[in-house]
Structures are given as structure tokens and as C-alpha cells.
Amino acid sequence: MYYGGIDAHRSYLTVAIMDREGRLVHERKRVPVGDGTPIVEELEGFRPLEVAVETCPFWPWIHDVLEPTEIGFHLAHASELEAIANAETKTDSVDARLLARMLAANLIPEVYPKPANQREILYLVRHRASLVTERTRLACRIHSHLHQRGLELPREQLLGKKGRHWQREQAWPRLSAEQRALVETHLELIDTLGTQIGELDRRIETRAREHPGASLLQTIPGIGPYRSLLLIGELMPISRFASPDRLVSYAGLAPRTRSSGGKTRYGSTPQAANRWVRGELVSAIPSHMRSTPDSPLGVYYERQKDRIGWQKARVAAARKLCRAIHVMLSTGEVWRG
């Protein structure tokens, strides 16, 4: 049995291979990327072989190249690799050797390497999220210039027809020439982004309708095509999580308690939590409340809100929703409320 570590960079890889006893049997610096053939050829002759790669922008192509071979692939959580992060000597060779040693000792903090079709789903929904973030940033800059002139408009009204009319009638005379030019530019960019987001929404709706898991999640009030597809992209296969509590932990909905020097801190989110999943589940609660406030989840949220406040209550309700999603995806049952 052989264990390999691959330190990946944009144009080259560094490879270290060790045997079962921890002896370095092969090492190669600057293996070219090419079309993936060089790394496959470099690993020939070492079977059976398991390799570890840190999470980075380059791991997907390495995974896809090695998947058809008999080589086992392990994706290591970069921020959890303290042995590499705290190493006094930091070189590509040292990192590759440490990865191989930790893999041989079963010490790799593993992350599920999402296959290509699942990554395609995430490219789609994250692209939409980035465009929405950019649109929000542009809207905030417009608000900033309005505030400089003592003008104020509720955020939700800025981009609507009434908001546009208000800007022309009320704001324009009080803005300077350069501020008007800036606002005009930002509004044009916002309109362009709105068109692109609309196109993405249609693609997302089609993909969510065609995916059985996403269709299942959409039976939950408050979870639409975008949210369901994002959750599918992040969580499948659900068998990765042995129990609902494992999924709750992965989503960062089971806050840790830390105690030091007699002081206790509650509610910190684990560093390795999937913040995409956490954010969508917490955001789903207000949407759920608007559509079905009298559902068991809605009643639970209201009861918790009176006791611990709305912010913590949303997390508690999201935790309950997370457990229900685990059961739904595991059994194929629709939402029962």
C-alpha cells in the first residue's frame, strides 16, 4: 500500500509517495499540469495508491483526472491541517510529504470531493449569488450619495418604478452633476445585472424542476428553486451524514460553547461549518413564516422568539428544519409540516 501527497499549484504539482512503513519511496517536484497526463504517468507503478490533496482552486481537475484510475482520492480541509499550517519549514516538498504521512496515519481532515455534475450545480447557483451581491453593492453606493445630500429612501424601494421616479423628481435637483452621472451609471449596471439574474433564475428553475431532490425540497414552504438547488449541490449524497445531528453540525447550526479563564462564550459558529448551507437554512425561516405561519415549524419559531429573541430563534428553527431535510432526502418523503 502506498500513500501520496500532492501539493498543487496553478502550473505544476509536487508529489511525494511513501510506503506503509512511512519511508519516502518517490518524490518529484514541478510535475507539469498539461492535460493531466503527466500526473497520471508520475503515479504509475505505485499500486494500490491513495493520494491526498488540500482544498484549493486546483483540486477539481486533479480529482477528475484520477477518478477513472484505481487511485483513491482524499480531499483535505486546508484550514484544518494544523500540521502543515504550523510547520516551521514551509516548502512544496514538505507539504507533500506531510500530506502523505498524515494520510498514512489516517489523520487527514477530509472534505467530500464533489463530482463534476454536482459542481456544475454549484457554479450555477453561486454565480447568481455573486451577481446579486454585486447588484446590492451598487445599490448601497447610490444610497450613500443620497445620504450625502440628506436624502433617504427605503432600500426595498430604490430599484422599483416608484423609486426610480422619486430619484428623478426629488433627488436629481439636489445631486451634483458628478453624483447624477454616477447614479446613472450604477442604475444602468443594475439593470444589466437584473437581466442576467433573470436569465439565471430561469435556468435554475429548470434545473430544480428536473432534479428529484430539489423538487422534494421545494415542498417545504420557504424553499424555492434557488435555495433547493443550492442545498442539493452542497448536501448530496445525504448518506455522507450518518444522522440528522451530523448534518446540523456540518451546517454550523449547533453552536459551540467555549470556556476559558472562568468565562464562557456561547453560540460561536464552528470554523469548518458550511456557511452556504447555514445561510440558506436561516434565511428560509422568514420565508416559511410568511407563507405558513401556523405550521409546526412556525409555531416553534414564535415560541422560541418570545423566549430567546428572533435571532437565536431563527437558528433554532433552522436547526429543526435541517433535521427534517435530512429525513426527507434520506427517505424521499415530502414535507409533512
Q: What are the cell numbers at 48? A: 494500490
Q: Are residues 283 and 308 in the same domain?
A: yes
* 199 inside domain: yes
Q: Are residues 38 and 102 in the same domain?
A: yes
* Domain end marker among 191, 210, 229: 210
Q: Are residues 13 and 121 in the same domain?
A: no
* 276 inside domain: yes
- Residue that the C-alpha cell 450555477 belongs to: 124
* 297 inside domain: yes
Q: Are residues 315 and 290 in the same domain?
A: yes
- Tell me, what's the pLDDT at 264? 43
* 7 inside domain: yes
Residue 315: closest CA among 288, 291, 281: 281
Instruction: Report CA-CA distances (Å) from 303 to 151, 297, 307.
Output: 39, 10, 7
Q: Are residues 270 and 192 in the same domain?
A: no
Q: Are residues 100 and 195 in the same domain?
A: no
Question: How many domains is the chain built from?
Answer: 3
* 337 inside domain: no
Low-confidence residues of the chain, pLDDT below 50? 262-264, 266
- Tell me, what's the pLDDT at 269? 67
* 336 inside domain: no
* Domain end marker among 73, 92, 111: 111
What's the whole-model pTM score? 0.88
Q: Are residues 180 and 281 in the same domain?
A: no
H, E, C per residue of the chain? CEEEEEEECCCEEEEEEEECCCCEEEEEEEEECCCCHHHHHHCCCCCCEEEEEECCCCHHHHHHHHCCCCCEEEEECHHHCHHHHCCCCCCHHHHHHHHHHHHHCCCCCEECCCCHHHHHHHHHHHHHHHHHHHHHHHHHHHHHHHHHCCCCCCHHHCCCHHHHHHHHHHHHHHCCHHHHHHHHHHHHHHHHHHHHHHHHHHHHHHHHHHCHHHHHHCCCCCCCHHHHHHHHHHHCCHHHCCCHHHHHHHCCCCCEEEEECCEEEEEECCCCCCHHHHHHHHHHHHHHHHHCCCCHHHHHHHHHHHHHCHHHHHHHHHHHHHHHHHHHHHHCCCCCC
* 28 inside domain: yes
Q: Are residues 106 and 129 in the same domain?
A: no
Q: How far apart are CA 328 and CA 268, in angstroms?
A: 28
pLDDT tens sequence across 281-291: 999 999 999 99
Q: Are residues 223 and 151 in the same domain?
A: no
* 323 inside domain: yes
Burial-class residue 231 by CB neighbours within 10 Å (0-12, 13-18, 19+): buried
* Domain end marker among 111, 131, 163: 111
Q: Are residues 327 and 221 in the same domain?
A: yes
Q: Check which CATH number belongs to the domain holding 72 and give it.
A: 3.30.420.140
Q: Are residues 98 and 196 in the same domain?
A: no
- Tell me, what's the pLDDT at 222? 95
Domain that holds residue 206: 116-210
